Chains A and B, each alone.
Chain A
Amino acid sequence: MSRRGWSIAATFAALSAILLIAVVARGGQEEPFPHERHAGLFPLCTGCHEGVPTGDTTEFYPEPGLCVGCHDGVQVDSVPAWTPPPVSEPEPIEFTHPAHRAATVAAGDGELDCAACHIAEGGGTMAVQGELVLDQCLACHGHPAESHLVDASCATCHPPAAETRMGGEWLAGLPYPEDHALGDFLSEIHGELAGAQPQRCATCHTQERCVSCHVDAGDVGEIAAIPAAPPSLDLPRFSAHYTAPPSHAAPDFLEAHGQEASVAACATCHTQDDCATCHLGDAPEAVAALPRATDVMAPGVLLSRRAPSSHTSAFFTEEHGAMAAAEPTACTSCHARTMCTDCHDAAAIDVALPGALAGPGFHPADYMARHSAEAYGRRLECSSCHDVAAFCRDCHREAGFRAAGRLDPGFHDAEPVWLLRHGDPARKALESCATCHEQSDCVQCHSTVGSFRVSPHGRDFDARRAWDKNPAICFACHLESPIG
């Protein structure tokens, strides 16, 4: 037998077993009625099952007393007392005899007799096999698939799960069709299938299954097409399963996702609350348009924050300033502004210069000992953060470095005639001078009333311009307006 043949056989065997179990369960432990032995006695099925064609359940089975008419223990051996089983249409098949008969008539097939379904092909009169001969059903309702659990019009036989009387536990135990096991079933396939064959989904699922994952379930037509479960259906608790679509695996997805963000693209899986994991403050429009977690049944993807790929660059420290300047809102999406000032605040404590030894502050641990050379170096402008007079000179005063006047000699002892040579280094490092010297030290010579009246101005100094900008400071050195 071919592999396909084995599959069909196995499927039929499984179905038969299910039906047999159902019959046994319904009929208790009683022996099934030996129809063939009574073949000559009952020429018509409706002789005993009169109500079947009409759907009259009270006439589905004969009166129990009918058996005693013959099996009186005299003419014929008596039989155990028999009671007709309760009547119900088969589960989980959507089937009623009258409807089925009507359908076949409407299809032009005429009225089917009972043997068409209940007696195997070639079987003799009253060779009834259980309640149903599945081959006979599939002779009309069959389909080319290897398993009936795939790619079939389920609704032909099965009622929607929302209408089943089998219970939620039974629903939950239904086997999965093979396509459900495909790797991209959740992310790609199931949506397309639901759009094309919502009845197929509804065979095993109620709307609650969809709503448990889909944040935007209320806006999805395919989900609306799947009936919701009645309160009486004891559905199990569904857990949400989210799979990241392929787009999310792109290296720059975090940086670029805002360009594609929209309700249509994101609301299947994400609530506003998901986005708020990273987006602080004033949310982007796409985020604001998403449902809130409190307004939907689905939990949404519970995101955890991770740094964008740009942050893992070896040069992020060097580059983040330019990035922040280019896209400041991108930073504030995740970072409270105080995180910037943690570093970009010279007086802050919790920082260190990049690449420097860890110290208790912005500067490295031994900075006090070496800062004079660094200050001469002037790669950073000390006065951006430190007031020269209030900070540098204050400390130098405490340490004894502060100059006490113009002619206070002795400190620059490597230059015996420092007073005559100081102009060159002073112009190159005026900030360093100001950390020890007050302005009044210099004015002793560099003013119109000073002892030497040495002009401190360079060749390109524009006196008129300076006067226009702030005339008051001119009088620090000039008794009269320097521009006449």
Chain B
Amino acid sequence: LTRFNVERRAARTWRAAPLLSLTLVVLGILPAPALGQGARGTATTTVRYISLRPIALDTVPRSETVDVDGVPTFEGQPVTCLADGSTCVLYRPLDVAHGVVATQDVSATAWGLGLEGLSATLLVRGRADLDGDFVWPRSDDHFDAVLAYAQLQRSHYRIRAGRQRTLSGLGFSGFDGLDIAVDPLDWLRAEAYGGRSLARGLSEPRNEALRGIEDFILDQDAYLFGGFVSLRPRPGTEVGVRYQREIFADRIGLVSERGSVDLRSDLGGPVRLDAAVDYDFAFARLGKAHLTLRSALPGDWGLVEVTGRRYLPYFELSTIWGFFSPAAYHEVEARATVVRWAPLTAWASAGWRKYGDPEIAVFGPSITDESQRYSVGGRLQAGSVTAFGEYRIETGFGAYLSSGDVEVRWTPVRRLTLLARGAAFQQIAQFRIGEQVVLGGGLGLDARLPAGLRLRAGADLYRQAYENRPSQADWDQLRAYSILSIPFGEDPGMRGRP
């Protein structure tokens, strides 16, 4: 593992170099007077302290185990004995580990570049492990250019070139390329985009981001192409159709081929409809879908909404997961929010879910294919104090969770908010013995400093206890964070005003 991490770190450092250089070049070649005409940005520095307790696979001689109801146990914990008959294995907790990770984000948009409607946007991110016993995910990837594009926005069209991403019913899709959107008519909008595809969730080209990360991942660049047409047959109603495909650079095959349809309408009355469905052409199956009907309650009581939902995870063709025929779930959920007793806002929800047939004969007792979820909560504002509380319970497949959260915010002066929060929950993993009970809380602050600076900081301590899991001793998890945001430039909208 150590060698693996060292290799990955080295690889990421190398691939960070050209992007970092590119960013510096872009910033350097932009004429200073042009940048001076208008730029707005934020530099955000985040430092987090995290403690966690890893586990590790351990072995015990079969002779040291005790059979309880025919199940071998060690120190009260079930163990799995290997085929050789002499050795059993179990996971043991290790010492609590600590980590300090820092993230630096710099986002900026510049305009006034000599052409009306022309702007440039940049979002870069740096990460580093400052201290600790473990590597926080992706903190060894020290640099990301998340966004870096130029945009020409005019009344009836928009052209964007560079590193960018679209957000749609298909999720985030990042690419280095060109996006052209036109809305020639009030009721029509069309968009086409394409370019070198970025790995999902990684903001880097696929062959760079995924190289060596796992077997079967082709060391290939890919290109993404997509189009979107949106129609507004009448005010308040819009329907959009999107098609998107990713293809490997050598055209050996597709990474994905998907489409989606989105519909939103006020139905000409107080009821609003929001529906979406996506389709995976590669596997010829529906993916996620939802249909929500939302209506205000009469007499300003609040809002009620009912949602029907389908969920089937999406997997690229570049992995084998999608070929394993995942089973979808279907869910109905109702939610009501009451604002009648302002400043109290209260809400409650209930949902019922059923999984599709996994088409597999289960050896032994059946595994549930239903789950329910309920929640009730409220928020109350009284003067400078805001209190929030919510209780949720989720039962069914995979895990059981019963959780309660409270939070109180106090704003003694306009620029300072102090907060205290607490949480208690019980979590049971269906396929692991024992239940986890967590009780904890923390303090935080949110301070608006002169010159637009904002500092948020806090620390939380959670007592983690385990029931029916003897080897898991209770322990305390400490988390802390500090986030300093420094704005620079001028907000084109607010003109520097708060």
Contact = CB atoms under 8 A, between A and B. Distances in A.
Given A398-B54, A398-B134, A457-B325, A347 B491 contact: no
Contacts of B213: 389-390
B374 interface: no
Contacts of B52: 368, 399
B214 A341 contact: no
B315 interface: yes
Contacts of B347: 355
Contact of B493 (A305, A350, A389, A400): A305
A381 B314 contact: yes
Contact of B458 (A365, A378, A462): A365
A34 interface: no
Contacts of A282: 116-117, 153-155
A366 B94 CA distance: 21
Contact of A470 (B282, B425, B429, B477): B282
A127 interface: no
Given A314-B339, A410-B57, A421-B363, A384 B172 contact: yes
B388 A357 contact: yes
Nearest to A285: B155
Given A376-B397, A387-B200, A461-B323, A400 B94 contact: yes
A434 B214 CA distance: 11
A98 to B, nearest CB: 62
B135 to A, nearest CB: 6
Nearest to A467: B253
Given A365-B421, A400-B56, A412-B432, A456 B444 contact: no
A424 interface: yes
B414 interface: no
Contacts of A18: none
B123 to A, nearest CB: 7
Identify whether the interface residues of B are mostly helix, strand, loop, or mixed: strand
A360 B48 contact: yes
Interface in B343-389: 345, 347, 355, 358-360, 362-364, 367, 369, 373, 377, 388
Contact of B90 (A398, A404, A413): A413
A314 B303 contact: yes
Interface stretch (A41-49, A166-174, A436-444): A436-444
A26 B335 CA distance: 87
A317 to B, nearest CB: 11
Contacts of A368: 50, 52, 479
Contact of A322 (B116, B264, B425): B264
Q: Which among A282, A334, A401 has the highest number of chain B CB atoms within 10 Å?
A: A282
Contact of B438 (A370, A430, A432, A471): A370
Interface stretch (B18-26, B27-35, B73-81): B73-81
B302 interface: yes
Given A389-B214, A390-B138, A409-B89, A430 B326 contact: yes
Interface residues of A, number: 113
Given A424-B360, A456-B325, A370 B394 contact: no
Contacts of A438: 214-215
A417 B460 contact: no
A439 B215 contact: yes
B44 A349 contact: yes
A426 B463 CA distance: 31
Contacts of B423: 357, 365-366
Contacts of B252: 470-472
Contacts of B282: 465-466, 469-470
Contacts of A277: 495
B135 A398 contact: yes
Contacts of A315: 294, 296, 303, 337
Given A305-B497, A440-B215, A456 B136 contact: no
A411 B57 CA distance: 9
A383 B201 contact: yes
Contacts of A135: none
B359 to A, nearest CB: 5
A280 interface: yes
B359 A458 contact: yes
B121 A338 contact: yes
B110 to A, nearest CB: 11
A430 B458 CA distance: 35
Nearest to A442: B320
Contacts of A244: none
Contacts of A71: none
A138 interface: no
A285 B232 CA distance: 22
A335 interface: yes
A377 B218 CA distance: 31
Contact of A430 (B199, B321, B430, B464): B321
B392 to A, nearest CB: 10
B80 A399 contact: no
A366 B440 CA distance: 9
A94 to B, nearest CB: 50
B238 A325 contact: yes
B449 to A, nearest CB: 15
Interface in A462-483: 462, 465-466, 469-473, 476-477
Nearest to B155: A282
Contact of A439 (B214, B232, B325): B214
Given A368-B52, A385-B172, A390-B137, A318 B253 contact: no
Interface in A354-382: 355-358, 360, 364-366, 368-370, 372-374, 376-379, 381
A326 interface: yes
B494 interface: yes
Given A315-B337, A365-B442, A425-B367, A336 B358 contact: no
B146 A347 contact: yes
Interface string A286-304: 0000000000000000001
Contacts of A329: 183
Given A391-B138, A394-B137, A460 B329 contact: no
Contacts of B185: none
A443 B153 CA distance: 49
Given A281-B117, A438-B215, A462 B284 contact: yes
A413 B466 CA distance: 15
A278 interface: yes
Nearest to B407: A357
B270 interface: no
B155 A360 contact: no
Interface string A395-431: 1011111001000111111111110110111111111
Given A384-B201, A390-B137, A414-B433, A369 B407 contact: no
Contacts of B209: 387, 390
B137 A391 contact: yes
A356 B283 CA distance: 36
A430 B326 CA distance: 7
A88 to B, nearest CB: 54
B125 A347 contact: yes
B147 interface: yes
Given A365-B442, A389-B210, A457 B401 contact: no
Interface in B308-331: 311, 313-315, 317-321, 323-327, 329
B71 A428 contact: no
A93 B107 CA distance: 69
Contact of A425 (B324, B329, B398): B398
Nearest to B215: A440
Contacts of B262: 325
A95 B179 CA distance: 75
Contacts of A311: none
Contacts of A477: 320, 323
7 contacts: A341-B147, A379-B311, A412-B431, A414-B432, A425-B430, A428-B397, A439-B319
Given A281-B119, A476-B216, 18 more contacts: A349-B103, A358-B409, A358-B419, A358-B421, A366-B462, A377-B399, A387-B200, A390-B201, A390-B202, A395-B137, A410-B90, A413-B78, A425-B430, A427-B324, A439-B321, A461-B325, A465-B284, A469-B317
